A and B are shown apart, each in its own frame.
Chain A
Amino acid sequence: MTDLGVGKTPIKDLTDAEFEARYNCDRYTATVLSNRMRYIVEHMCTNLLHHAFSLILRDWYDFAATISGPASMNYPMSTVSNSLVLFSGAMEHAVRNAVEEYGPENLKPGDVLMVNDPYRAGNHVNDICFIRPVFHNDELVTFIALRAHQLDMGGIVPAGFSATKKDVYETGLVIPPMLAYENDQPVQHSFHLIFNNARYCALLLPDMITIYQNLLLGERLMKESLERYGADAWLGAINYSVDVPAESMASAIKALPDGVYEGSDLVDADGIDDTLEYEIKVKITKAGERLEVDFSGTSQQARTSINAGVFDTLTAVGVALKYVLDPKTAFNSGAYRNVDVVLPAGTICSATPPDGPVFLYWEAAQPVLLAIFKALEPAVGENAVGGDYGSLSIHNGHGVLPDGTPWVTVAQCGGEHGPWGATKTGDADSYGGFYMANNLDPATEAIESELPIVVLRKEYVPDTAGVGYNRGGASVLRDSMYLTEAHHTSSPVHTKRSSGAGVHGGKDGRNGATWLFSAEGGFDVAQRKDLIPVLDPEAYRQSTPVSGMLDPDTKAIDVEKGEYFWFGANPLWHTKPNDVFRYITCGGGGWGNPYTREPERVLVDVRDEYISIEAAARDFGVIITGDPQKDPEGLQIDQQATEARRAELRAAGMA
């Protein structure tokens, strides 16, 4: 029997009386209330998604809701919505730190507290965490929080997304814990503070009102349960909710071999120059039912806004462990009970103010997750997970319509969506948010109807997926043409090496890259009435590279012999009408030996243009005949040649 490292009898071994003594309610009630909490946060998020005004909430799902217990319980976060993962681990601390700084004794019914300071609460300044204290019989019994991205929070870049901001003064307005609503009335000076500093306030205001209304929805649903079951059962259910993943994580840790596991990942450069790479090092010591995750040796904080804060790193640790160790129970603060994170201040994943600016925090947090995947690969065996496309390569553009109306695009037309890595379960998807996101993909129709942008291409690139018995996802290519003059920040910070690491014998996905194709003197799509080719290296000769390992002559991707083109060479791109940005993401990592993949599955991949006939022979040892372009259903496996080729590979110990 395990004691879970916390001296408790496992929940399933408790007698009914013991269960009731621990959780102040019976098993059935604890389960009902735990599910009720999940229903509440999901209902809030669905309602916000349906009623939000700005694209970043409406089309991207850039928000999350949580429930936390009171100060007397040290704010256990029982419930996290199935939305933006990047917020999830940090929100436990955002609630605790904001409430403690403001003073729980100062909160009254009808208040809404807000905070957006990355160093106090995680994430970046645009992500305001709104916190509603919920009272029952005049006692503050719980908190409901809704953190949501605001389209702008001031700073030197409209909408904020930039990897080249140099300090906290350039990133935007920092809001310490303060009231947004008091006695259910908006605090005028709080709103003035934001709207005197932020852009696009015609969208921010209705978004904030909608967020407030969803806090009221959550509170109403919560109060129904408190009235019916009482505060003791409610608080017992909070404890039950965090104990379940604490137990399951402890059991998963216990199943690992004791030992020390090390991994690392690199960020290409910051926005000052390309002389420094930033390394994230992790040393995981497993003993019994406990893990220590030590980031000592990690590079000092970057000089521009690609840093993460400590709570972002904590999120990445928790999410990584859930992926590879304990994916079947809910994620909440209990997942960290048997995990200690050792994190020096002032690194790229624990930045400090004012000179460690945090904005593109996921560009450091996601490598934390990937470093943990790499570290634990030998320990988890076939449960290893391939790396994904790793970086959002986020694109932020703005301009003015002919009638003078300002427009802005955020995270819609860069490399924000791409492939995952393969697992033992099967091939990876090629299109989704990265492991730390779980967001939506803005619809092409929404982009083109609201913005002067034409989405020219949104497709997979052949021979980019990490090969394996199970194949990683393919790189995603996106071409976006801008119809007015515009300014852009482009932040592909992970192109020097592929993030899509192969596992369990699988191979890495291919590196991504980004280019600008000018219409004037380059490739004028509108005039030629044709799209920019993808696979012809000569097509790239007319481009301006933004980032990638590229042939300096043709400017096409050349991972082996190419040179690194640094994303920060131009911190603000100015484009003319009909100019096109092209993004290609990294490919996802493969799982398992590719030479053991069933030939029939390779044939399907050739038909679907995930891989070419040449790659089928080279990377899988499968000989296919036919023409995938002209007669995809006529493709055939040359069984004899394939068997001969695989026999050679087996003889060489490769298959």
Chain B
Amino acid sequence: MTDGPTPAPGLSVEREDVSEEELRELGVDTSGAPASDFKRYPVLSEGGWYIVIKNQKTMETVHKEKWTLLGPVKLVTDGLHIA
């Protein structure tokens, strides 16, 4: 028995800023919302992993593209190339 257990440190998903230029290049209709309302981050959903851009106030997904099969998970053999 040891006194004083503490919760193991938490980890978080980083939500990246998106610039107005990026949104414009992606053809996103922001409906007048500033670029600061939008963030880019990975999500797991029907069909696998995606990188989405969402309006953080309305949670509307304005851009969505497939990511890798395993998303953020790296296998110990990733990058292994046997010629």
Contact = CB atoms under 8 A, between A and B. Distances in A.
Interface of A: 74-76, 92-93, 96-97, 100-101, 117, 119-120, 168, 176, 242, 246, 266, 269, 273-279, 281, 285, 287-288, 290, 292, 294, 296-300, 302, 309-310, 314, 333-337, 339-348, 350, 352-354, 552, 563-566
Contacts of B42: 342
B55 to A, nearest CB: 9
Given A100-B69, A294-B13, A310-B73, 14 more contacts: A76-B47, A119-B73, A266-B7, A274-B1, A275-B5, A279-B10, A288-B58, A296-B10, A336-B46, A340-B43, A340-B61, A343-B44, A344-B12, A352-B74
B5 A97 contact: no
Contacts of A294: 13
Q: How large is the interface on B (under 10, 10 to 19, 20 to 34, 35 or more residues)?
A: 35 or more
B75 A96 contact: no
Contacts of B76: 168, 353-354
Contact of A344 (B60, B72, B75): B72
The secondary structure that dominates the A interface is: mixed
Interface string B1-15: 110111111111100
5 contacts: A76-B46, A274-B2, A276-B5, A288-B58, A299-B8
A314 B71 CA distance: 13
Contacts of A278: 7-8
B43 A341 contact: yes
A2 to B, nearest CB: 16
B31 interface: no
A300 B10 contact: yes
A70 to B, nearest CB: 13
A345 B72 contact: yes
Nearest to A564: B1
Contact of B6 (A93, A276, A566): A276
Given A296-B12, A344-B12, A353-B75, A275 B2 contact: yes
B6 A341 contact: no
Contact of B9 (A92, A176, A300, A352): A300
A176 B77 CA distance: 10
Contact of A347 (B11, B52, B70): B11
B13 A119 contact: no
A292 B59 contact: yes
Contacts of B8: 276-279, 299-300, 302, 348
A354 B74 CA distance: 10
A352 B8 CA distance: 16
Contacts of A337: 45-46
A96 B48 contact: yes
B68 to A, nearest CB: 10
B7 A276 contact: yes
